[in-house]
Amino acid sequence: MKKTSLSDIAKHLGVSKTLVSFVLNGKAKEFRISEDICKKVVEVAKELNYQPNRIAQGLRTGRTNTIGLIIADIANQFFGILGREIEQEAARFGYRVIFCSSDENPEKSRQQIAMLQQSQVDGYIISPPKHSEDQIRALAKGHVPFVLIDRYFPEIESNHIVVDNFNAAYNATNHLLKLGRKRIANITVNLDLINMEQRTEGYKQALRDASVPVDDNLVKVLPFSHDNKDVARAIKELVGKNSPKKIDAILFSTSKLGINGIECISSLGLKIPDDIAIVSFDNPDAYKICVSPVTVVNQPLKEIGKIAVQMLLNQIKHPDAPSKAQEIVLKTDLIIRKSCGS
Amino acid sequence: MKKTSLSDIAKHLGVSKTLVSFVLNGKAKEFRISEDICKKVVEVAKELNYQPNRIAQGLRTGRTNTIGLIIADIANQFFGILGREIEQEAARFGYRVIFCSSDENPEKSRQQIAMLQQSQVDGYIISPPKHSEDQIRALAKGHVPFVLIDRYFPEIESNHIVVDNFNAAYNATNHLLKLGRKRIANITVNLDLINMEQRTEGYKQALRDASVPVDDNLVKVLPFSHDNKDVARAIKELVGKNSPKKIDAILFSTSKLGINGIECISSLGLKIPDDIAIVSFDNPDAYKICVSPVTVVNQPLKEIGKIAVQMLLNQIKHPDAPSKAQEIVLKTDLIIRKSCGS
DNA sequence: TATTTTTGCTAAAACGATTTAGTAATTCTA
DNA sequence: TAGAATTACTAAATCGTTTTAGCAAAAATA
C-alpha cells in the first residue's frame, strides 16, 4: 500500500500536480481554479486518503513545523508539566515537538542542539544547563528562533521567560521568619545558574532585612546529580547534635532536594513542622500528601509553557522583526500548607 | 549564514557531490575513492561545519530516524519516566522522538497518529486509549512498525510489552489478606482497557482463593478524567458510617487515584494503616514521603522503555521479517512500606 | 599490441512537495 | 475586429540528499 502523493491525485484526474497543490493549500481562488475541478480534487484526495508528506514539504519550504525542546529531565514532574503545556500549545498551532532531556549536561545539550539543527526544526525552547553559553550564543548569532525557559544567561541577550526567583525565595523565607523561625537553612544545587543563585540571594536578603545574621554554613550547595545520601549528609550536618548551628527550618531550592530531604528528616525521627519547618520550590504531588503537606513556591507552569511557545512562534513567523529581546518575569505564589506550623 | 550542503563541499573541492556523499557516508572504500581526496572532503566538511540535512535525507531514503510516541500524559510521572527511557534508548541508536499526550482520548490519538504519519516517522510506540482499536488495526494492516505499551487489544495481533497485571494485583491483594484485612476495596478507572480489567480480576481471584466473598460494591470504577471529588465520593461511600460495607483496605489501580485517595483519607481523619491499609499500583515519589509510605506494585519502567524501543527498531530494520507478533509480559514487584501495617 | 579489467570518479534521476513563469483559449475593450 | 485583458490551467525548476548507471584513463592480461 504505497502512500498517495500529489501526482497520484493529479494523474487520477488528468490535471497537473500544480493545480492539485493549489487546491489543497486553499489557493484555489488566488489562482482561479474552477469550482468543479476544485471539488473533484478534494473528493479524490479524500478517496485516496491523501496525507501530505511533511518531509517533502519541509525540504521545499524550509519550514518543518517542528520545534525542539531541551529540558533537564522529562521524568521530573516540573519539566513534565511544562513539557505537556508546550506540546499542547504547539499542537494548537500545528507544530510538533521533539523532546530532549539534557540531564543538565552541556555536552548532551550540544549534541541535542546539533541533532535538532539537522532535523531542521523551526525553533528551540531550551532550559540551558550551565556552561552552555557558547551554544546559546551560537543560536543567537545564527538568528535561529529560540526561547529560554527557567533560566538564562545575563550576559547573553535572549528571549526568555522565567519567574522572579529572588522575590519568591525572599517571600518564602519571610514566611518562615514571621512564624518565628530564626535558624533557617537553604539547601540548593550547584548549577551556577542564575535561577538558583537568585533563590539563595533572596533567602539571604530576607534574613538581612529581618536582622537575622546570615550564616554561610547554613547554605548547603549540592552537586546537580545528587541522591538521597548527599541530601542526608547535608541535613545531618545541619541538625547534628554536636552541631552548634542547629536549625529550625529549611528552604529547599528544588523539589528533588525537598523530597529527598523530607524522606531523610522523617528517618531521623524529626517532626515537621515541630522540629523543622519546611518550604520548597515547585509543587509536585508528593508535597500534597506528605507527612506534613509542604508549603511551596508554586510556579505558573501553564503560563510559562504557553508564553514560551507563543514567543517562539512569533519569532518564527516574523524572522526579521526589529526584535528587541523579550525578557519575561512571572510572579510565583506561596501555597501555605502545614509544613511551617502556624 | 546559509547552511552548507553537499554541493558546497563538492564545489569547494572541484569534485562531484556524489563523491562527497560517498565519503561522508563511509562508503569511500566500497566506491574506491582515493585516500587523499577522502581526507580533503572530511577536512572541508569540518571546516564549513557541514550538518547533513536530515529532511532531504529522509525524503530520498524514506527513513527519517524518528519515532512517534503516544502516551496518555507526559506530566504523569509514570509516563514521564517511561518517556525518558524511550527517548534515551532511541537516542542511543540515533533516533529522535516526537512526544504526544493523548489524554486517553481516541480522537486525539487519531489526530496524533495522522500527524506522525505525515511526518513520516519510521515507527510508533503507543499506549492506546480505549476505542482506538481501528487506529491500531490500520497500522497493523499497513505494515507500519509499531509497539504497544502498558496495554493492548487482545483481539488484535500486535507487538506489545506489558506487565502481568493479573498476578500483580493478585499478589498485592494477597499481601493485604495475609495481614488480616478482609474488607478490601478496589478503586479503579473506567478505561475498558485490558490492563485495568486484569488488575480487578487479579484482585477478585485473590479474594476467592482466600474464601473471602467478592462484593461488587467494593469495586469503585471512576471515569478516566476524574478529580479529587470523584475519588472522595467513592471513598466516602466505602467508609460511610451508615455503610454496612465498611472497609479496612483499598487497592488503588493507579497512582493518580491513590494520591487523590490518600489526600481524601487524611482529610476524613482516618489513619493509614490503622483504619485503612493501602496498596497502589505505580511508584511515584509521592508515595515515598507520604504520611504512611505506601506499599506499591512497582513496574519495571526502564525495561519496558528499553525493550519497546528495541522491538520497534528491530521491526524497522527488518521490515519483511517473518514476524510472529511478540507479546512480552514483565513481572512487577511489590515494594513493602508502611501503609499496610505489619 | 589488442583486449580486458580495474581504478577513480561523475551525471542524472529520484524522493514529493512548492512556486515561478508562462501559455493557450476565451472574453472584453476600443 | 484587432489588440488587450482575463481565465484556467501547466511545465519545469527547486529544495539537499542518495543511488544507479556509466565513462575515461590506467593497469593488467593475453
* Cβ contact B190 with chain C strand, < 7 A: no
Contacts of A286 in chain B (CB under 8 A): 284-286, 288-290
Q: Is B272 on the interface with A (CB under 8 A)?
A: no
Contacts of B66 in chain A (CB under 8 A): 98, 119
Domains belonging to chain A, first-starting first, are: 6-52 (1.10.260.40), 64-163+302-330 (3.40.50.2300), 165-299 (3.40.50.2300)
Residue of A nearest to B87 (CA): A100
Contact criterion met (CB below 8 Å) for B129 and B100: no
Over residues B146-172, mean pLDDT: 97
- Rounded Cα distance between B309 and A261, Å, is 34
Please report the pLDDT score of residue B291 as a whole number: 83
CA to C1' distance (Å), from A34 to C30: 29
Please report how many Cα atoms fall inside a 13 Å half-sphere around the Cα of residue A310, on the Cβ side: 10
Is residue A30 exposed (0-12), middle (13-18) or buried (19+ Cβ within 10 Å)? exposed
- Residue from the list A59, A83, A288 with its beta carbon closest to the beta carbon of B263: A288
Closest residue to C18 (CA to C1') is A60
The three cell numbers locating residue A86: 508546550
Please report the pLDDT score of residue B224 as a whole number: 85
Three-state SS for chain A is: CCCCCHHHHHHHHCCCHHHHHHHHCCCCCCCCCCHHHHHHHHHHHHHCCCCCCHHHHHHHHCCCCEEEEEECCCCCHHHHHHHHHHHHHHHHCCCEEEEEECCCCHHHHHHHHHHHHHCCCCEEEECCCCCCHHHHHHHHHCCCCEEEECCCCCCCCCCEEEECHHHHHHHHHHHHHHCCCCCEEEEEECCCCHHHHHHHHHHHHHHHHCCCCCCHHHEEEECCCCCHHHHHHHHHHHHCCCCCCCCCEEEECCHHHHHHHHHHHHHCCCCCCCCCEEEEECCCHHHHCECCCCEEEECCHHHHHHHHHHHHHHHHHCCCCCCCCCEEEECCEEECCCCCCC
When pLDDT is cut at 50, 70 and 90, the band that residue B205 belongs to is very high
- Rounded Cα distance between A79 and A89, Å, is 15
Q: Is B58 on the interface with A (CB under 8 A)?
A: yes
CA–chain centroid gap for B7, Å, is: 42
- Residue from the list A53, A98, A289 with its beta carbon closest to the beta carbon of B120: A53
- Rounded Cα distance between B104 and B226, Å, is 12
Q: Are strands B66-71 and B123-126 parallel, antiparallel or unpaired?
A: parallel
Q: Is A51 on the interface with B (CB under 8 A)?
A: yes
CA–chain centroid gap for A303, Å, is: 11
When pLDDT is cut at 50, 70 and 90, the band that residue B241 belongs to is low
Please report the pLDDT score of residue A225 as a whole number: 81
When pLDDT is cut at 50, 70 and 90, the band that residue B190 belongs to is confident
Cα dihedral sign for B108, B110, B114, B120? Answer: positive
Contact criterion met (CB below 8 Å) for B160 and B149: yes
Identify the residue among A99, A103, A139, A287 best suited for mutation to test binding to B, counting B beta carbons within 10 A and taking the highest.
Answer: A99
When pLDDT is cut at 50, 70 and 90, the band that residue B316 belongs to is very high
B51:A259 CB<8 A:
no
Q: Is B54 on the interface with A (CB under 8 A)?
A: yes
Q: For residue A124, list its beta bridge partners.
A: A68, A146
Contacts of A119 in chain B (CB under 8 A): 54-55, 66, 96
CA-based radius of gyration for chain B: 26
CA to C1' distance (Å), from A162 to D13: 46
Residue B160 gets which letter from DSSP?
E
CA–chain centroid gap for B141, Å, is: 23
Q: Is B99 on the interface with A (CB under 8 A)?
A: yes
CA to C1' distance (Å), from A250 to C21: 72
Contact criterion met (CB below 8 Å) for B101 and A84: yes
Residue B290 gets which letter from DSSP?
B
B75:A84 CB<8 A:
yes
Per-residue burial over A263-280, b = 16 or more CB atoms within 10 Å of its CB, e = otherwise: bbbbeeeeebbeebbbbb
Q: How many residues does chain B have?
A: 342
Residue A295: phi and psi, rounded to 5, are -70, 130
Distance from CA of B72 to the nearest CA of A (A): 11
Contact criterion met (CB below 8 Å) for B336 and B175: yes
Contacts of B202 (CB under 8 A, 6+ apart): B165, B166, B167, B168, B169, B170, B171, B172, B173
* Cβ contact B55 with chain C strand, < 7 A: no
Contact criterion met (CB below 8 Å) for B158 and B152: yes
Q: What positions of strand D are covered by protein, i.e. any atom < 7 Å from a CB?
A: 7-12, 14-21
B289:A119 CB<8 A:
no
Please report the pLDDT score of residue A32 as a whole number: 87
**Angle (deg, nearest 10), helices B228-239 and B255-267:** 60
Over residues B299-312, mean pLDDT: 98
Q: What is the pLDDT of residues B2-34, one digit of tens each?
A: 899 999 999 999 999 999 999 999 999 999 899
Q: H-helix or E-strand containing B21?
A: helix B17-24
Amino acid letter, B40: K
Contact criterion met (CB below 8 Å) for B44 and B7: no
Question: Which residues are in reach of strand D, CB within 7 A?
Answer: A 14-19, 22, 31-34, 37, 56, 59-60; B 3, 5-7, 17-18, 21-22, 24-25, 50-53, 56-57, 59-61
Contacts of A11 (CB under 8 A, 6+ apart): none
Identify the residue among B289, B301, B304 best suited for mutation to test binding to A, counting A beta carbons within 10 A and taking the highest.
Answer: B289
Distance from CA of A176 to the nearest CA of B (A): 22
The three cell numbers locating residue B292: 504512611
The answer, yes or no, to whether residue B243 has pLDDT greater than 70, is no
Residue of B nearest to A228 (CA): B288
The three cell numbers locating residue A283: 509543587
Is residue B272 exposed (0-12), middle (13-18) or buried (19+ Cβ within 10 Å)? buried
Contact criterion met (CB below 8 Å) for A203 and A193: no
Instruction: For residue B297, count other CB atoms closer than 10 A to its CB.
Output: 27
Q: What is the pLDDT along chain A (342 residues), one digit of tens a residue?
A: 689 999 999 999 999 999 999 999 999 999 989 999 999 999 999 999 999 999 999 999 999 999 999 999 999 999 999 999 999 999 999 999 999 999 999 999 999 999 999 999 999 999 999 999 999 999 999 999 999 999 999 999 999 999 999 999 999 999 999 999 999 999 999 878 999 999 999 999 999 999 999 999 999 999 988 888 999 999 999 987 666 568 999 999 999 999 999 999 999 999 999 999 999 999 999 999 988 999 999 999 999 999 999 999 999 999 877 778 999 999 999 999 999 987
Nearest to B150 by CA among B328, B334, B333, B335: B328
* Cβ contact A267 with chain C strand, < 7 A: no
Q: Are strands A219-222 and B123-126 parallel, antiparallel or unpaired?
A: unpaired
B286:A291 CB<8 A:
no
Q: Is B98 on the interface with A (CB under 8 A)?
A: yes
Contacts of B118 in chain A (CB under 8 A): 51-54
CA to C1' distance (Å), from B27 to D29: 29
Closest nucleotide to A3: CA versus each C1': C16
The answer, yes or no, to whether residue B302 has pLDDT greater than 70, is yes
- Whether residue A273 is preceded by a cis peptide bond, meaning omega within 30 degrees of 0, is yes
Contact criterion met (CB below 8 Å) for B136 and B118: no
Q: Is B290 on the interface with A (CB under 8 A)?
A: yes
Please report the pLDDT score of residue B208 as a whole number: 97
Over residues B155-174, mean pLDDT: 97
CA to C1' distance (Å), from A109 to C19: 37
The three cell numbers locating residue A140: 543567537
* Cβ contact B46 with chain C strand, < 7 A: no
